[in-house]
Structure 1
Amino acid sequence: MHSHFLCGKYQLNLNRPHVMGIVNVTPDSFSDGGQFSSANLAVEHALQLIAEGADILDVGGESTRPGAKPVSLDEELSRVIPVIKALSHIATVPISIDTYKPEVMRQAILAGADIVNDVRALQEQGALEAVVNSKVGVCLMHMQGIPQTMQLKPVYEDVVSEVKQFLIDRLNVVMAHGVSKNRILLDPGFGFGKTRIHNIALIQHLDSLLDMGQPLLVGLSRKSVLGAIAGGDEGQRLYASIAASVIAAMKGAKIIRVHDVKATVDALKVVAAIQ
């Protein structure tokens, strides 16, 4: 596997697990709800995550949690673009835009985004074109169904081989469009159309996804599978999230996407020391 991930103006050396800090720019993320102030709060939060040791920031303006309502293009742009613009001048780490909308990708790249993190794996019409002539890194994720309904009745014959085959297919399509191998991350999509059993099988067999030859991004932070295992609602899943992050890193995941950056950074320092 290549040891460097090229993304925008950055080159990440993946000789250790990296932490991607989540910067949600949604009205429910910040209680006061005002447009201007939520952008300011998001930037402040992002800088706090860098101070806590985040290696990458992932900025998103539309929730993809199960049952979440879709957000209009204009609304999403007005949330994320000011944040990416501001961060592109002051952040010292790569900035990722978490979107599946090609127009958001285009404007985010112009605003200074270094990575496009797409839950739909660049399948929307125009998405490949949006990234192909840029230098951004991309993350391709597996999802069964759509966020509104994906958790109702996910079904697989063999979840590990099906997720793997989907990611290989998308990897090949994206590379055929001219995105080089060292710009691509793959994400099995924990919680995106998967039951507790499916999620656990994917963690257990993470090593079999590694032989695709691409660095894996894993997002388990605060997900409901952890609540199913350990109990506790979303705000009470810190310890379960740390355990999941450590296991994923020990099993070879290179990018761990989390809400709780400082705690994860400390835990992954232990992993790096042991590895």
Structure 2
Amino acid sequence: MTDRTLPPGFQLPELRSPVRTIGRHTFDFDHRIAVMAIVNRTPDSFFDQGATFALDRAVEAAVRADEHGADWVDIGGVPFAPGPELPADEEASRVVPVVAALAQQSDVVISVDTFRPEVAAAAIAAGASVINDTTGIHDERLADVVADSDATLVITHSLASPRRPLMRPQYADVAGEVRDFLLERVDLAIARGVPEDRIIVDPGHDLNKNTVQTLEVTRRLGEVVSLGFPVLAAVSNKDFIGESLARPKSERLAGSIAAATACAMLGARIVRMHAVPESVDAMRMLEAILGWRDPVDPVHNL
């Protein structure tokens, strides 16, 4: 039986299905905080600005993330930020070869960041086991693709159409509205055949939200956690960190680790991060504090 007694300040979510088999791994999210690494095959990605756009560099980065302890790797071919539409076949040509190469070299969980059903289908066929849709199932056919597979679906809060701006987003109750949106989209996914034990939710830090709104969603993350699905916190190097600390993207590591740790303490069970070794250490340390894992080398004062 799980010991649900935690120190003050920590929240252990009441998950409907805490034990999840995703790809070739099984996670007990009552005792595990997974680290999702980020690999972008785009020339204009938010953080790395095309550093892994070349296929060989993308595959190398994905394999290295696995070697550094990432639980899974999230591969994207289109930025979330507003911009011109990229044809689906071009998006697929960016992500599918990385998925296929990584699946041959590693058993790490592979997810693909896409809102297009045709790209999702091709990625799943190539070896992806998670579809990370940052548009909240804008195209409902995406749920059909996931339902017809063994893949897991990440449902994210965002309001604008894909790659379209939402200027000056307004919310009467930002955390409550995020929770309600996610519940509505979860119900849609289930109605279209996605089992609830293959659903993860993401409050969408910074996505169609300003910094003050994102900070409030973070403080009130327990309201999203209360839905009963594992929560993904994609906080790494985002503008709410930069604006909170007055730090450029290159100097946001400490803030990112702090934000990820706070989210995990408040019930998030997956953190999406650029700096893999540091993030893995932070989450494994948090698990040790919680008593979920033994120290690797406990010799001090023995």
Q: Give the TM-score category using the shorter length.
A: over 0.9
Residue pair 1:43, 1:83 contacting (<8 A) in 2 also: yes
Residue pair 1:218, 1:257 contacting (<8 A) in 2 also: yes
Match of 1:172 among 187, 212, 216: 187
Residue pair 2:35, 2:273 contacting (<8 A) in 1 also: yes
Quick one: distance in 1 between partners of 2:214 and 2:250? 20
**In structure 1, what is the equivalent of residue 299 of structure 2?**
none
Q: Which amino acid aligns with 1:120?
A: T
Quick one: distance in 1 between partners of 2:203 and 2:277? 24
Match of 1:123 among 134, 138, 141: 138
**In structure 2, what is the equivalent of residue 47 of structure 1?**
63
Deviation of 1:125 after TM superposition, in Å, equals 4.3
Deviation of 1:236 after TM superposition, in Å, equals 1.6
Q: How does 1:42-81 map to 2 (within 5 A)?
A: 42-65=58-81, 67-81=82-96
Match of 1:114 among 113, 120, 129: 129
Question: TM-score when scaled to structure 2?
Answer: 0.85
Q: How does 1:177-196 map to 2 (within 5 A)?
A: 177-196=192-211
- Aligned structure 1 segments of 4 or more residues deviating by more than 6 angstroms: none
Q: Which has the higher helix share?
A: 1
Quick one: distance in 2 between partners of 1:236 and 1:205? 26
Moved more, 10-19 or 243-252: 10-19
- Deviations along 1:173-224, one digit per CA (max 9) or x if unpaired, are 1112221111110000011110111101111011121111101000010100
Deviation of 1:31 after TM superposition, in Å, equals 5.0
Which one has a bigger Cα radius of gyration?
2
Residue pair 2:135, 2:159 contacting (<8 A) in 1 also: no
**In structure 1, what is the equivalent of residue 11 of structure 2?**
none
With over 3 angstroms needed to count, the CA separation of the structure-2 counterparts of 1:244 and 1:31, relative to structure 1, is closer
Unaligned runs of 5+ in 1: none
**In structure 1, what is the equivalent of residue 42 of structure 2?**
26
Quick one: distance in 2 between partners of 1:30 and 1:49? 17
Quick one: distance in 2 between partners of 1:125 and 1:56? 25
| 1:254 and 2:269 aligned | yes
Q: How does 1:153-164 map to 2 (within 5 A)?
A: 153-164=168-179
Q: How does 1:185-264 map to 2 (within 5 A)?
A: 185-264=200-279
Deviation of 1:30 after TM superposition, in Å, equals 3.8
Quick one: distance in 1 between partners of 2:247 and 2:123? 35
Quick one: distance in 2 between partners of 1:32 and 1:61? 11
Residue pair 2:65, 2:276 contacting (<8 A) in 1 also: yes
With over 3 angstroms needed to count, the CA separation of the structure-2 counterparts of 1:32 and 1:108, relative to structure 1, is closer
Deviation of 1:123 after TM superposition, in Å, equals 2.8
Q: Which amino acid aligns with 1:26?
A: T
Quick one: distance in 1 between partners of 2:264 and 2:130? 21
With over 3 angstroms needed to count, the CA separation of the structure-2 counterparts of 1:6 and 1:31, relative to structure 1, is closer
- Please provide the CA RMSD for this pair: 1.5
Question: TM-score when scaled to structure 1?
Answer: 0.93
**In structure 2, what is the equivalent of residue 5 of structure 1?**
20
Quick one: distance in 2 between partners of 1:177 and 1:72? 25
Deviation of 1:26 after TM superposition, in Å, equals 1.0
Q: Percent identity?
A: 34
Deviation of 1:54 after TM superposition, in Å, equals 0.4
Q: Which amino acid aligns with 1:168?
A: L
**In structure 2, what is the equivalent of residue 136 of structure 1?**
151
